[in-house]
Chains A and B, each alone.
Chain A
Amino acid sequence: MSTVDETAGVAVPRTAARRGPRFPTLGENWWRHAIGIVAMVWALFPVAYVISAAFNADSTLNGAGIIPRSITLHNFKQLFASGAATKHFASAADYPYWYMNTLIVSAATAFFTVMLGALAAYAFSRFRFRGRRMGMLFLLLIQMFPQLLAVVAIYLIVFNVGGIFHVLGLNSITALIIVYLGGVMGVNTWLMKGFFDTIPKELDESARVDGATPAQVYWGVVLPLAAPVLAVIALLSFIGTINEFVIASVLLQSSKHQTLPVGLYNFISGQYAQWWGPFCAGVLLAALPVVVFMMSLQKFIVGGLTQGSVKG
């Protein structure tokens, strides 16, 4: 616990610094910088390593290092090359499919998460009806049984449904999206209900007086006001869906139909050391948009985090 001791000690020097020179010098904070630099190296080391490996001409794991020997785009080209160039390992050529599938699945899930969740949240926030309390408690209870735990049942259901409706069977991203939609109600509905509660009821009432139906109040008044929060929930849902491995790996079995986690996992499980370069290039391309999004929306996401803890 010596760490905490040190940090608590800062209270005194702080006032001392205020009385002294206006700008604190490096000298007095040197240990903070030391810790900061260690923490930075610790946090960024794998990131730097991936970037280096992605551009490294030697595409094996053995040849990878922190500083690439020579820079090339060869690894990226391999990901998008047709079967011939990657004949040693056929599924490397499926990377574009994984990327597209992931985008489609995550975007669709995020969109419907917000739509379905917000509808229900509005009902719980604005109407008083029989079973309202029960309904909310039920949502709380059911979310403690994550879909993850029912993965066996989901697999068996999709397998059997696929025997009748082929488009909703195994290897169908439509089926995957629909399955994900089953899990959207819990946390999200509670989060959005909490936010809807903060929007003044007078707004609804004045619209109702003007003759608006509940549907019109919802689409025209409440939803536009809640847009920023809905956007954050959509983003968190998007990222959560990108990361989902279990259900996707069980339902999507043929390479072309897989999402990035499943595809990349299978990709490097086989020829780990040999395909390290293209793999890192794939990681970089997959991570970049998400990182840019997350870093630019930092402030909003922190708020969402502390309330719902969707990830972490």
Chain B
Amino acid sequence: MTASAVSSQPPRTGIRATAWSLPSRAVALFSGPAGFAVKIALLSIANAVGLWALVILAGRHQWTAVGIVVAVTAVIDALYLVPGRAVPAKFLIPGTFFLIAFQVIPVAYTIDVAFTNYSTGHILKKPAAIQQIKQVTLAETANGTSFTMAPAHDSSGNLVLLLVDDQNGKTYVGTSKSLTPVPKSTFKRSADGSITGATGYTVLTGAALITVSKDLSGLVIPSGGDNGIRAEGLDTAVELHPTLRYNAQRDVFVRISDGAVFHDNNRGSFVHGKEELLPGWKVYVGFHNFSRLIHSKLIRGPFIRVFIWTLAFATLTVFLSFALGLFLAITLNKQGLRLRWLYRSALILPYAVPGFLSLLVWRGLMNDDFGVINKLLGHIGVHVPWLFDANWAKVSVIVVSTWLTVPYFFLVSLGALQSIPSELIEAARVDGASPWASFRKVTLPLLLVAVAPLMIASFAFNFNNFGNIYLLTGGGPSVGDNTVAGATDILISYTYKIAFAAGLGQDYGLASAVGIIIFFIVAAISWVSFSRTKALENLA
């Protein structure tokens, strides 16, 4: 393969010239105080970072994390300060550290999340969810207490409510934790009764009021029993009474009005028949996410459609690019062809431009009304909805992906063609093979030995080529069924949308399950490619 020849070429000249003078120079340069100082400096940085983490973690009582940090730092110090032992580990630890932290742990966590119902409405732990349910099901009663209210900041900037009971005129300051009676003289009130100021508190007005309005609507002040006080608008508040009672012994909610019992359904929710209390909590659901992909009609349909398109997209991109790249390589790499260098450089250029830029530009070129392609086509009376029509969007995605990938296979084919000994082709010709036969029987098989592994790698890459889809079409156009999956979404962009698109809620559990399925597909492809590659090499 030319590949190894090219990459091992640069240092070859270097070795000859400097080989035998290097060791002695190196020893002089890296021995003694200089090397030691570098080592100590790096270790000090590692220890400083560890110490910084410790202080913050201890301050937050994260004792497990404290233990891990101490252990990791101790291992690193011991490893590099004790001389002459576990030498390979000294070289492996730095990379392994990051590998574990940001590759192994995320993979493990992905697997963990895939078996949970982690999603919008199932974020909290159970006790927090119970607390939340109690708060959101509070309701105003006919003769409940009402208050004149003003939102304010206390001296440390926390949001509090200044409250005056409309019936008896008692004054309070309420926080999310408590309701504290204060002397009436604390509040300054205008003629119409509204609170304009308070000693020790800053009453919020204007823009400040608007910025806290979201916090304000979520603030419930406990006022004895299970009751709570909540702001209604910006200047009044009402005392709310629970509509549900939580029975800790039986672990159920009972509706006060009709006695309906909501019990834990082991799926992270309290339910009564089809009624479900929100929010739920995060819980392990076994293979539920995977079985949804097979059994839930709403999910299975889009999933299968996306899966088939992913295969089609990756296969077509690779084969079209390879065919075109090889064709151009054979056509334009003829000895003595004038301007060969120009064609070659021009064809490589798209490869040198960062892909995300090309994709965003293509999106503009293919714009429906203003894009230059449609404007040019307009001269002959043709208008193509490149990105708006489901089928045309698929064509567009493949055209652009091919544009991006052809240069790669052009380069690869150039290299591979040069590595095929010309004697073989001449021998075929001497034996009377037609040019087409000698290409098909000699050139192509030899070429494939070198290029097939790269085609498989390119397939695996395109299988997860998020950018080509998301930056060009955004996965769209929408196909209208009840799903986030658009017409050109591939599995990875579908996963991204399940997890992060706001439209139908965020389902981290399902997204992780799809991620794991993609892993198995790519791993299978890679596995096949490894064994196939070996077979091909043996053939050659």
Residues of B within 8 A of A60 (CB): 370
Please classify the interface of chain B as helix (H, G, I), strand (E, B), loop, or mixed, using the class held by over half of its residues.
helix
Interface size of B in residues (CB-CB distance below 8 Å): 135
Decide if B173 is an interface residue (CB 8 Å cutoff). Answer: no
Interface pair A306/B31, CB less than 8 Å apart: no
Q: Given A29-B334, A221-B22, A305-B411, check contact A150 B91 (CB 8 Å).
A: no
Interface pair B7/A303, CB less than 8 Å apart: yes
Interface pair B349/A148, CB less than 8 Å apart: no
Please classify the interface of chain A as helix (H, G, I), strand (E, B), loop, or mixed, using the class held by over half of its residues.
helix
Q: Given A11-B425, A39-B346, A149-B515, check contact A307 B7 (CB 8 Å).
A: yes
Q: Given A7-B330, A119-B95, A225-B14, check contact A265 B26 (CB 8 Å).
A: no
Interface pair B23/A221, CB less than 8 Å apart: yes
Least Cβ distance of B181 to chain A in Å? 34
Residues of chain B in range 69-104 having any CB-CB distance to chain A below 8 Å: 87-88, 90-92, 94-96, 98-99, 101-104
Residues of B within 8 A of A300 (CB): 6-7, 10
**Segment at the interface with B among A77-85, A88-96, A180-188:** A180-188
Decide if B106 is an interface residue (CB 8 Å cutoff). Answer: yes
**Segment at the interface with A among B130-138, B152-160, B296-304, B435-443:** B435-443
Residues of B within 8 A of A218 (CB): 91
B24-49 contact mask (Cβ, 8 Å, vs A): 1 or 0: 11110111000100010000000000
State in angstroms the CA–CA spacing of A49 and B365 once bound together: 9
Residues of A within 8 A of B495 (CB): 149, 151-152
B171-204 contact mask (Cβ, 8 Å, vs A): 1 or 0: 0000000000000000000000000000000000
From A11, A43, A46, A245, B365 is in contact (CB under 8 Å) with A46
Q: Given A129-B88, A198-B8, check contact A207 B27 (CB 8 Å).
A: yes
In this complex, what residue of A is CB-closest to B328?
Answer: A39
Interface pair A189/B352, CB less than 8 Å apart: no
Decide if A212 is an interface residue (CB 8 Å cutoff). Answer: yes
Decide if A287 is an interface residue (CB 8 Å cutoff). Answer: yes
Residues of A within 8 A of B50 (CB): none
Q: Given A32-B332, A210-B23, check contact A291 B3 (CB 8 Å).
A: no
Residues of B within 8 A of A212 (CB): 23, 26-27, 30-31
Interface pair B439/A120, CB less than 8 Å apart: no
Q: Given A7-B439, A303-B3, check contact A243 B87 (CB 8 Å).
A: no
Chain A to chain B contacts (Cβ below 8 Å), 22 pairs: A7-B439, A11-B435, A29-B334, A33-B339, A36-B332, A39-B328, A40-B346, A117-B95, A207-B22, A215-B35, A220-B27, A224-B22, A261-B471, A265-B360, A290-B352, A298-B348, A300-B7, A303-B2, A305-B412, A306-B415, A312-B454, A312-B458
A-binding residues in B (CB < 8 A): 1-11, 14-15, 18-20, 22-27, 29-31, 35, 39, 53, 56-57, 60, 62, 87-88, 90-92, 94-96, 98-99, 101-107, 109-110, 113, 323, 327-328, 330-332, 334-339, 342-343, 345-358, 360-365, 367, 369-372, 375, 403, 405-409, 411-412, 415-416, 425, 429, 435-436, 438-440, 443, 450, 454, 457-458, 461, 464, 466-467, 470-471, 492, 495-496, 499-500, 508, 511-512, 515-516, 518-519, 522-523, 526
